[in-house]
Every structure is written in C-alpha cells, then in structure tokens.
Structure 1
C-alpha cells in the first residue's frame, strides 16, 4: 500500500506539472498554438515575446503555482489522520520525487504530446516550498545576471549554479541537495541549444523576437 500511495503522489506531481499554462494562455488570448511560434517553448519567455507581458506574468505565476502545489500535496499528506500509511522517513524523498516529476511534466507534458517549456519557473516553484531562502537566493542571482546580460537562458544557468551552492552551503537535507543537482542538470540540458548560441554570441536578449529562445 505504501508503494502504491507513493506512486500516486509522484504521478499527481507529474500531472500538475503537465498543466500547459503557456499553451492554454496563448490559445485563449491569441488563438494560436504557442509551440508553432518563436522557440516553440510553452514557457514564460516565449509567451513574453509572442503574446505579451501580461500573459507572460500570468504564465509565470501559473508555472510557479503548479509546481508549488505538486510539492505541497506530498507535505499535506503527512498532516492527514491516515498519514501513517507512509513511513515518515520517506517524506523528504517523496517530496523530491514529486518535485522532479513536476518539472519533468512541465517540459514533457502528457497533455501536449510530451512537449513543453524548459522547467525554470517550475523549478523555482519547487524551491519556494522546499526552502524559501534558497529560492530567494536563486532568484536573486537570476535577476542580477538578467540585469547585466538581458539574456534569460544565461540567467537561468546562473540560477542553476546558485541553487546548488546554496543547497550544499546551507547544509540542506540530502534529498533536497540531490534535487538541486538533478534539476540543475535537467534545466541545463533543456538549454543546450541556448548554450551553443551564448558561446556563438547569437543568443537573443530580452526585447528581441528571435526564433530559438524559450524558458
């Protein structure tokens, strides 16, 4: 029973992460499939360039929220009267597995034929629940790099580095540290084409409507 409940909580995390906030917003506001425009990403950066600022803010909030909900659902389980159906020592690991499922769902949504965004905002949403201090530190590093470079992808990679420094530096639980590493590797992998363009000097900056950028 414990393994079945765990699997269901992790799958719930994936389903919540899969909610296609960007796709639905673009379709509702503009009647378009956002995957056929700009970079093809359903994330807030592509929404910003393709649909507009207000839509991008809405998508950003939605992507943060769905990831926060995925992690909070596991934490909530352990507050229920029947929480003892799962061993308490599983809690941190289940939280992290649901978190990973959520960020994977964002980029490989079951509702969009396993396409999606680049899992930056959803990863931040997870961090806001795991450790708000780490989340704010990561966000701060992102914003500083964004102000200096105006390149979203470079700022995202800076955030990846920051989250791991903060997780290990603040002696967070092992599952949380492993989340930082796993999410960092995955987000970096999702930005592999952006990294190539950064080195080539062709990566677009905020305000430029070029084809190969997303979040």
Structure 2
C-alpha cells in the first residue's frame, strides 16, 4: 500500500507543469503556443530567455528530487526510491493537469539521479553542458547523456536496481527524442541561440 501511495504522490508531483505556470504567471506567455510547444526548459529558453529557462529546469528537476526523497522517507528501500522517481517522470511527461501531455522528462530525470547517484550526476551534467556549448544541440546532449548514465553506473558498481533504472530511463529519453533524432540526422534540428527570444521576434 505504501508503494502505491508513493507512486500516486510521485505522479502528482511530477504532473505540476512548472514551465506552463512560470510562463503564464510571470510572463503572460503560454509555452505551448511557441517554438516546439513543449513546456520544458529548452523551449522556455528559446521563448522567454535564460533566467526563466533556468527556473523551469530547476523546478522540474526538484520534482524528481522530492519524489525520490518521498520514497526514502515512507519506506527507504531502493525500490521505493525508484517508484517515486519513475512516477514523477511519468507525471511530467503525461500530466493529469495537461490532459496527459507534458515534457520529455530530462530535467525531472536528472533530479532523480541526482539523489540516487550524485557523483555520476555531476559528470553527466558537465558532459551535457559541454555538448550543448560545442554543438548548440540540447537534444543531442540530452540523448548522449542519458545513454551514458547506465554505462557509468555499471562501471561505478552502483546498486543493480539503479543500473536497471538507468537503462530504462535512457531508452525512455531516446524514445521521447525520436523526432529530434530524425531532425539531427537530416541536419534540420534547431540550435539554441543565446540572447534570442522567440517571443520578442514574434512581437516585432
């Protein structure tokens, strides 16, 4: 019963549409109407700018952190931690508040692994930042980073439950970026540009 409670609470936490709330409440902008129409940090960056995107990223990651700690407090087993984390990712991607639509779960997933494997998370985040800086492709950085998570877990001899989660999460991220992979192969994927806000360009 406690596992079910963790799953439900984790899902509800993950369902909070931070990108939509930040865009609407602070900037009077519905992210679903601009750019990729995604409520995640990347579209927030393209549409609103750096600081709004940073807040979207941090609050989305916090959902994963809270959900994992919820599992830790209520039961404390590795399975309980993963139950909360996975539920939060599912909630972010298929939010009950958005008619079961949502983002791609990268930031929320990062929050999950930040609690489970903090040292690996630091390495992954730095790698992600380097790839974004060099290529300007957030999708590419997210895909490569996600795939490397279970690999690093294996070589770091992490708990087997976390390793299996890493594999599932990597497959999930790759699957959610299927369209991006197609555009990357065709050379049509959008790059991020510092100082260029889509809302501004549409208002001019």
**TM-score of the two chains, using structure 2 as the length reference:** 0.91
Shift of 1:206: 1.1
Query: Paired residue for 1:77?
Result: 74
Which structure has more RCO (C-alpha within 8 Å, separation ≥ 6)?
1
Q: Verify: 1:163 aligned to 2:160, yes or no.
A: no
Q: Is the 2:3–2:83 Cα contact (8 Å) retained in structure 1?
A: no
For structure 1, the 5+ residue unaligned runs are 79-87, 211-215
Inter-partner Cα distance in structure 2 for 1:107 and 1:122:
10
Matches within 5 A, 1:31-110: 31-78=28-75, 91-110=77-96
**Residue 209 (structure 1) shift:** 6.9
Unmatched segments (≥5 aa) in structure 2: 199-204
State the secondary structure of the residue aligned to 2:104: coil
Deviation at 1:137, TM superposition (A): 1.4
Distance in structure 1 (CA, Å) of the matches to 2:27 and 2:123: 35
Structure 1 residue 39, shift from structure 2 partner: 0.7
| Superposition RMSD in Å | 1.4
Cα distance per residue 1:130-158 (max 9 Å; x no partner): 01011111112211211221100000011
Q: How many residues align?
A: 196
Q: Tell me the distance in 1 between the aligned counterparts of 2:100 and 2:188.
A: 28
- Name the structure 1 match of 2:110: 124
**Within 2, Cα distance between the matches of 1:148 and 1:113?**
36
